[in-house]
Amino acid sequence: MTTAALRKLHEGPSILLLPNAWDAGSARLVESLGAKAVATTSAGLCWSRGYADAAALPPEQIIGASRDIRRVVSVPLTVDMEAGYSDDPAAVAELALQLVEAGVNGVNIEDGSDAPELLCRKLTAIRAALASAGADLFLNVRTDVYLRGLAAPGDAVAEVVRRAALYREAGCDGLFTPGASDAGHIRDIASSIDGLPLNIMLVPNLPDLPTLQRLGVRRLSAGSAIAQAGWGHVGQLAARFLAGDIAQVADAPAAEYGAMNKLFAGAAR
């Protein structure tokens, strides 16, 4: 799949639903269930590789994970690269090129608590490196205004829109605002970012899908929710097993062995 195909998925008519994966196995599973693209969750990917989330993952691990996922899926792949694992725009751009080589079609890159100007420099460097290499990526910029409370509630929309203008000028393709859940805020952001596809993250009390579509949302990510649910279920079963409650574990709902094995038939290459 090409980056152009990923761009097309942001044009609708339906919201692009991304049940974020965390490794090759979960990526292949969600693809088999009908996902039109595969996105990673940085938290889930970090945990699956034995690292804490939030820039603790060595860059070579995200490259390796991307190659593993691309080996088993054929739909567009977008990868969460956190803040690029560096404050050096040139290093972030080099990582972006390595992800392209690994078969990645898009990335999420975030501002976090840093000044938005730093992310602008990273975006500019990525775009320049891609142009020099004749490559392309869908650059989905995550702004943490809501997630980290970087603005007072009454100023959050204006701050997101201000940052969106900066990031658009620097070369972003989409805007991700995790933590935003108020319908009025979502509508105001979507209508004020000059056509950038708006990405929202699944959180409690989020409007339903038809409402989100009317508000102008183009992409909805599960974030780490599915990965956290999976870890929670595994933890419960392991605790029961260790407590000697073997019957409950043996009878727990589970994926069928043969069906799971079939997902990866012919994928070893």
Say which CATH number the domain at 63 has. Answer: 3.20.20.60
Is 121 a domain residue? yes
- Which residue, 82, 64, 81, is CA-closest to 23? 64
pLDDT at res. 119: 98
Is 263 a domain residue? no
Q: How far apart are CA 131 and CA 139, in angstroms?
A: 14
Is 249 a domain residue? no
Is 104 a domain residue? yes
pLDDT digits (tens, 9 = 90+) for 164-220: 999 999 999 999 999 999 999 999 999 999 999 999 999 999 999 999 999 999 999
How many domains does the chain contain in total? 1
Residue 1 has pLDDT above 70, yes or no: no
Work out the end-to-end distance of the chain between its first and last CA atoms, rounded to an integer number of angstroms. Answer: 17
* Segment 11-31 mean pLDDT: 96
Residue 258: pLDDT band (50, 70, 90) is very high
Q: How far apart are CA 85 and CA 91, in angstroms?
A: 8
Residue percentage of the chain with pLDDT more than 90: 94
Is 13 a domain residue? yes
pLDDT at res. 268: 53
Is 147 a domain residue? yes
Is 250 a domain residue? no
pLDDT at res. 269: 53
The residue range of the domain holding 180 is: 3-228
pLDDT at res. 55: 76
SS3 77: strand
**What would the DSSP string read from start to end of 212-266?**
HHHHTEEEEE-TTHHHHHHHHHHHHHHHHHHTT-HHHHHTS----HHHHHHHTTT
